[in-house]
Amino acid sequence: MTAEISMRYGCNPHQAAARTYIADGRDLPITPLNASPSYINLLDALNAWQLVRELKAELGLPAATSFKHVSPAGAAVAVPLDDTLSASYFVANRELSPLATAYARARGADRLASFGDWIALSDVVDVATADLIRIEVSDGVIAPGYEPEALEILKKKKGGDYRILQIDPDYEPPAIERRQLFGIELEQGRNDFVPDDAFFQNIVTSRKDLPASARRDLIVATIALKYTQSNSVCLALDGQIIGAGAGQQSRVHCVRLASSKADNWYLRLHPRILEMKFAKGLKRPEKINAIDIYLQDDATPAELKAWEANYREVPERLTAEEKRAWLDNLKGVALSSDAFFPFRDNIDRAQRSGVEYLLQAGGSIQDEPVIAAADEYGMLMINSGVRLFHH
């Protein structure tokens, strides 16, 4: 343990004198095992650690998250992967431990956004997980511990400059948290809420059946929301986030962003994409970018020309009709919102991305038409009464 960690600079290079410490002089609960974290690294690491710690405590499964700019690009628990997901996540034919499976799912949610991520893992990092991290472009990792061989694998990343943090899993922060903004102190009670049985009781739609899998996915989405910059909405399926809409000023833009990301996630499972034959020597990030361009409806001729150079055999692009037909197979998606839905347009957009289970705070003057819209689509909606803004 150490009392202070110094950094080269803060959020930006011109912001000097950056350091982290505990005000009362106690040792920090984090120890750098390789390279020194930056200011932004620590913002990601400490938010991400809380997310995976809570997922593990709630669901009893190893958990992982892929963080970028103080919001999760993906988060997941260790639900086994089928062959299609393994191929889409570039982990086919790899031996994955439960922890590695959780990270493969977290990274696979939005591989474009996860480029250069900060990773948080709920359990001691094993060789299978370290070997998976080794091949991804990532800035650093935080976990409660590392197997010796796994640590040696990670220390070799980025020419030895890969940032590795170990956190004391027993550390508990004070009940009151403080921050300073513009020279002014702000203070509040720490947000220690976690979903309990009461959180799921107020089902307001005609549909009342909440299967265990949907409840699990709502927990994943809700805990991810706690550490996503607001306004935010998360879509989850099979124990992982498949779309996150973070930091939007209007609720419907959160839903549109999260749903479009979920659509892209599901379109990546289309056989035409899984069968793509990339040019020899094409690196993993280049393949991911090529797939993203392939899926864009508004790609320019120049972009498409550059895109074609990534393939040995240029695949025929999916038409709008083919995309819609494929997306119509997406079912059983769970959506959690960090505040209430003010209008039914949120529900209308969500249903096009396979959403069947909705959780929101409720309490809007528009609750009645929003519930009616959910009933119209045969969805189940819970009004939890709990808002989860995070800034």
Please give the positions annotated as active site.
68-69, 231, 391
Cis preceding-peptide flag for 231 (omega within 30 of 0): yes
Round to the nearest angstrom and report the end-to-end CA distance of the chain.
Answer: 28
Q: For strand 138-143 and strand 163-167, is the pairing parallel, antiparallel, or unpaired?
A: parallel
Q: Is 155 helix (H, G, I), strand (E, B) or coil?
A: helix
- Among all chains, which residue has been given the structure tokens 């996503």? 228
Whole-number Cα distances in Å, 222 to 54, 203, 321:
11, 16, 33
DSSP 267-325: HTTSHHHHT-EEPTT--HHHHHHHHHHHH-TT--HHHHHHHHTTEEEPPPPPPHHHHHH
For the stretch 127-150, what's the b/e string if a residue is b when 16 or more beta carbons lie within 10 angstroms of its beta carbon? bbbbbbbeebebbbbbbbebeeeb
Residues 142/48, Cβ–Cβ less than 8 Å: yes
Q: φ and ψ at 336, to 5 degrees?
A: -120, 140
